[in-house]
Amino acid sequence: MVRGVVYNICGANPLDDIVQDVWLKVWNGLSQFNGQAQLKTWLYRVAVNAALDHYRRRKKTNRETELKPEAAGPDRRDNDLVYKDLVQKGLAKLSEKHRVVVVLSDLEELPLRDVAQITKTSEGTVKSRLHYARQEMLKFLQREDHQV
């Protein structure tokens, strides 16, 4: 789950490093975990924050801020892989905030309440971000000649 969230938020480049960083933070923060939030929600928050931290650091140091999905190789003829590429490219086109809500809500299937807790926003904000993110995603898919 940690790996999937980090991968969908900031790509494959230093995935292992970020995942290791997440577990280190979890280990260090476990004693301070107050139990008010669910352990799962807290774990998601640590993963999302680590992924975003890395993404922002990369944004500062690197001019190329856009996530680069892995290029489809010649062996990627399979439809599933083509669509997976498409989703990955679509996610990469979204803004940071929109990507996080789509990943948590649509891919991880977390309830809005949990997404709001993880992103430290209100449910209304999550709903609004999700609405715009889905619109952008649909537009992207249409541009790529794909109808959902």
Residues at the site binding another protein, with contacts judged by CB under 8 A: 3-4, 6-8, 12, 15-16, 19-20, 23-24, 27-28, 69, 80, 83-88, 91, 102, 106-107, 109, 131, 134-135, 137-138, 141, 148
Q: Which burial class, exposed, middle or buried, applies to 65 when counting CB atoms under 10 A from its CB (0-12, 13-18, 19+)?
A: exposed
Smallest separation (angstroms) from another protein to the CB of 102: 7
- Under 8 Å between Cβ of 44 and 118: yes
Q: Which is nearer to another protein, 37 or 87 (CB)?
A: 87
Smallest separation (angstroms) from another protein to the CB of 50: 13
CA 118/CA 104 separation, integer angstroms: 9
CA 3/CA 50 separation, integer angstroms: 11
Q: Which is nearer to another protein, 45 or 85 (CB)?
A: 85
Smallest separation (angstroms) from another protein to the CB of 134: 6
CA 56/CA 42 separation, integer angstroms: 21
* 36 sits in which H/E element: none
Residue 68 carries which DSSP code? -
Q: Which is nearer to another protein, 3 or 56 (CB)?
A: 3
Smallest separation (angstroms) from another protein to the CB of 146: 9
CA 129/CA 127 separation, integer angstroms: 6
Smallest separation (angstroms) from another protein to the CB of 66: 16
Q: Which is nearer to another protein, 33 or 83 (CB)?
A: 83
Query: Which tokens is 143 given?
Result: 């541009």
Q: Which is nearer to another protein, 39 or 107 (CB)?
A: 107
